[in-house]
Amino acid sequence: MDEFYFNIKENLDGFSNTYYAKDKTTVFINAYGKKFTVFVPEDLTTFKVLNVRYSKDAKNVYHYGKILEGADAKSFEADEDHWGKDINGRWTPVGKLEKE
């Protein structure tokens, strides 16, 4: 980790209990006081935090740092209530909602 570039983003946009940090190559997530999760997004230059659970870069959507399989990064949006949506449907904290 390059401490000169390390930047903690604490309590982003009112998110409580979750902290994101990054340096030049890596993203660190601390959710609810647990150990930091460390991951390397595919495209760090476009990486952004969407809400407590979701983040994305130009290629992938992440749920606490793990790729959210089937999610469309280009259209994915998240709200403050832990939900997400993309052109394929809605996402909840436990997975994708199936269409009826």
DSSP string, 18-79: EEEEE-SS-EEEEETT-PPEEE--S-GGG-EE-SSSEEE-SS-EEETTEE-TT--TTT-EE-
pTM of the prediction? Answer: 0.78
Distance of CA 23 to the CA centre of its chain: 15
pLDDT band at 99 (very low <50, low <70, confident <90, very high): low
Indicate the residue type of 41. Answer: P
What pLDDT is recorded for position 16?
59
Give the whole-angstrom CA distance, residue 57 versus residue 49.
Answer: 9
What pLDDT is recorded for position 40?
93
pLDDT tens digits, one per residue of 55-89: 999 999 999 899 999 999 999 999 877 889 999 89
Q: What percent of the chain has pLDDT over 70?
A: 81
